[in-house]
Amino acid sequence: MGLDFSTQRLKATLIDSSLGVVHESEIDFDRSLPEFKTRGGVHRHSDGLTVTAPPLLWVAALDALLDAMRRRRFPFKRVACVSGSGQQHGSVYLRHGADRVLAGLDPALPLRGQLEGCFSIPDSPVWMDSSTSAQCRARDRALGGAQAVAALTGSRSCERFTGNQIAKIRSKQPEAYAATGRIALVSSFCASLLIGDYAPIEPGDGAGMNLMNLRTRAWSPAALACTAKNLAARLGAIVPSHTVIGPISPWFAARHGFSRACRVVAFSGDNPNSLAALRLERPGDMAISMGTSDTVFGALSSPRPSATEGHIFGSPIDPEGYMALIGYKNGSLTREWVRDRFAGGSWPQFERCLAETQPGNRGRIGFYYREPEMTPPVFRTGVWRFDCRGRPIRRFNEGEDARAVIEGQFLSMRLHGRNIGLAPRKILATGGASVNRSILKTMADVFGAPVYTSCRPNSASLGAAYRALHGWDCARKKRYVPFMESLRGAPPFERAAEPDPALRATYDPMLERYAKLERSI
Ligand code: ADP
Ligand code: XUL
Please tell me whether residues 347 and 250 are part of one structural domain: no
Of the candidates 272, 307, 342, which is a domain's last residue?
272
The model's pTM is: 0.93
Please tell me whether residues 380 and 248 are part of one structural domain: no
Instruction: Report the share of the chain in percent with pLDDT over 90.
Output: 93
Amino acid at 11: K
Position 457 pLDDT exceeds 80: no
Spatial distance between the Cα atoms of 256 and 470, rounded to a whole number of angstroms: 24
8-state DSSP, 205: H
460 falls in which pLDDT band (50, 70, 90)?
A: very high
Which CATH number is 41's domain given?
3.30.420.40
Residue-level pLDDT at 472: 98
Q: Please state the atom number of ligand 2 nearest to the C-alpha of residue 128.
A: 7
> Measured in angstroms, how far is the CA atom of residue 29 from the centroid of ligand 1?
22
Residue 398, in any domain of the structure: yes
Please tell me whether residues 265 and 376 are part of one structural domain: no
Q: Please state the atom number of ligand 1 nearest to the C-alpha of residue 292.
A: 2
Q: Please state the atom number of ligand 2 nearest to the C-alpha of residue 160.
A: 7
Please tell me whether residues 72 and 185 are part of one structural domain: yes
Of the candidates 228, 249, 272, which is a domain's last residue?
272
378 falls in which pLDDT band (50, 70, 90)?
A: confident
Position 458 pLDDT exceeds 80: no
**Count of the separate structural domains present in the chain:** 2
pLDDT tens per residue, range 236-292: 999 999 999 999 999 999 999 999 999 999 999 999 999 999 999 899 999 999 988
301 falls in which pLDDT band (50, 70, 90)?
A: confident
Instruction: Residue 61: name the closest of 9, 127, 15 by CA.
Output: 9
Amino acid at 462: L
> Measured in angstroms, how far is the CA atom of residue 187 from the centroid of ligand 2?
12
Please tell me whether residues 258 and 341 are part of one structural domain: no
Spatial distance between the Cα atoms of 366 and 444, rounded to a whole number of angstroms: 19
Please tell me whether residues 240 and 374 are part of one structural domain: no
444 falls in which pLDDT band (50, 70, 90)?
A: very high
Q: Is 192 in the pocket of ligand 1 (CB under 6 A)?
A: no
Please tell me whether residues 36 and 176 are part of one structural domain: yes
Instruction: Take atom 2 of ligand 2 and give the residue whose Cα is closest.
Output: 88
Average pLDDT over residues 468-497: 96
pLDDT tens per residue, range 305-322: 999 889 999 999 999 999
The number of residues in the chain equals 521
Residue-level pLDDT at 296: 97
Please tell me whether residues 96 and 213 are part of one structural domain: yes
Q: Which residues of 347-380 are buried (b: 16+ CB within 10 A; e: fewer)?
A: beebbbbbeebebbbeebbbbbbbeebebeebee
Position 372 pLDDT exceeds 90: no
380 falls in which pLDDT band (50, 70, 90)?
A: confident
H-state helical runs in 314-458: 332-342, 347-356, 400-420, 437-447
Of the candidates 220, 237, 272, which is a domain's last residue?
272
Q: Is 357 in the pocket of ligand 1 (CB under 6 A)?
A: no
Average pLDDT over residues 169-176: 98
3-state SS, 96-149, equals: CCHHHHHHCCCCCCCHHHHHHHHECCCCEECCCCCCCHHHHHHHHHHHCCHHHH
Instruction: Residue 334: name the closest of 404, 232, 246, 423 by CA.
Output: 404
Residue-level pLDDT at 456: 74
In whole numbers, what is the pLDDT of the chain averaged over residues? Answer: 96
Residue-level pLDDT at 291: 85
Helix (H, G, I), strand (E, B) or coil at 407: helix
pLDDT tens per residue, range 178-197: 999 999 999 999 999 999 99
Helix (H, G, I), strand (E, B) or coil at 67: helix
Please tell me whether residues 181 and 48 are part of one structural domain: yes
376 upstream amide cis, omega within 30 of 0: yes
Spatial distance between the Cα atoms of 388 and 507, rounded to a whole number of angstroms: 13
Residue-level pLDDT at 71: 95
Residue-level pLDDT at 371: 86
pLDDT tens per residue, range 28-67: 999 999 999 999 999 999 998 999 999 999 999 999 999 9
Position 455 pLDDT exceeds 90: no
Q: Could you tell me the residue range of the domain that residue 140 belongs to?
A: 2-272
**Can you spell out the DSSP letters for 255-304?**
HH---TT-EEE--EEHHHHHHHHTT--STTEEEEEESSSEEEEEEESS--
| Alpha-carbon distances, residue 134 vs 137, 145, 153 (angstroms) | 5, 14, 19
Instruction: Residue 400: name the closest of 387, 391, 390 by CA.
Output: 387
* Residue 323 · residue 312 · CB < 8 Å: yes
Residue 282, in any domain of the structure: no
pLDDT tens per residue, range 104-153: 999 999 999 999 999 999 999 999 999 999 999 999 999 999 999 999 99
